[in-house]
Structure 1
Amino acid sequence: MRFDIYGRFQVEVRRENEEWIVYRAELGKRAKLHDVIIPPDLAAQEIATYLDDVFHEYAGIGQTVEQLAD
């Protein structure tokens, strides 16, 4: 799943070995974000809200984290 973080950058979230792994996605490459930990029992439909909580300091007024079409 890919998410736009307030128009500033994008992350990709993948399910690997029963864990959610977060990558920063940039122009054909990606780097693992070791400091962003998503609880393994969090449902996929709750990830955008969770990322909004994690990255809220980047938000402008009225902005939200948006899931992008794959």
Structure 2
Amino acid sequence: MPEEYRFDVFGRRMAIAGSDGAWVAYLIGAEGKRRRAGFEIPDFVTANELAQYLDDLFHEDASPERPGVVLLGVAQR
């Protein structure tokens, strides 16, 4: 069963879903609606590496209040 990983990425909520051996990234709005994010995640990135990949990609958005990427949860889809 595919999994979906939810993250707080320096204040932005994102969902990363596995789909046919690839990752699909979504931005989650304040109202809970999802839209495709404007970036790709290579298929060689494992589930355990997602948080570090997002941190490396968006580290410029770090602040003292939001110093890193936080895993919010994992759900079965």
The residue that corresponds to 1:65 in the other structure is 69
Give how far 1:41 is off. Answer: 1.6
Letter in 1 for 2:67: Q
Q: Select 2:47's aligned residue among 41, 44, 49.
A: 44
When the two structures are aligned, how many residues end up with a matched partner? Answer: 68
Secondary structure at the counterpart of residue 48 of structure 2: helix
Between the aligned partners of 1:17 and 1:43, the Cα distance in structure 2 is 14
Matches within 5 A, 1:18-57: 18-26=21-29, 27-33=31-37, 35-57=38-60
Deviations 1:5-25 (A, max 9, x none): 12x210000001211000001
The residue that corresponds to 2:7 in the other structure is 3
Give how far 1:69 is off. Answer: 2.2
Aligned-residue identity in percent: 34
Query: Please, what is the CA RMSD of the aligned residues?
Result: 1.4
Letter in 1 for 2:62: A
The residue that corresponds to 1:14 in the other structure is 17
Letter in 2 for 1:44: A
Secondary structure at the counterpart of residue 4 of structure 1: strand
- Any stretches of 5+ residues in structure 2 without a counterpart? none
- Any stretches of 5+ residues in structure 1 without a counterpart? none
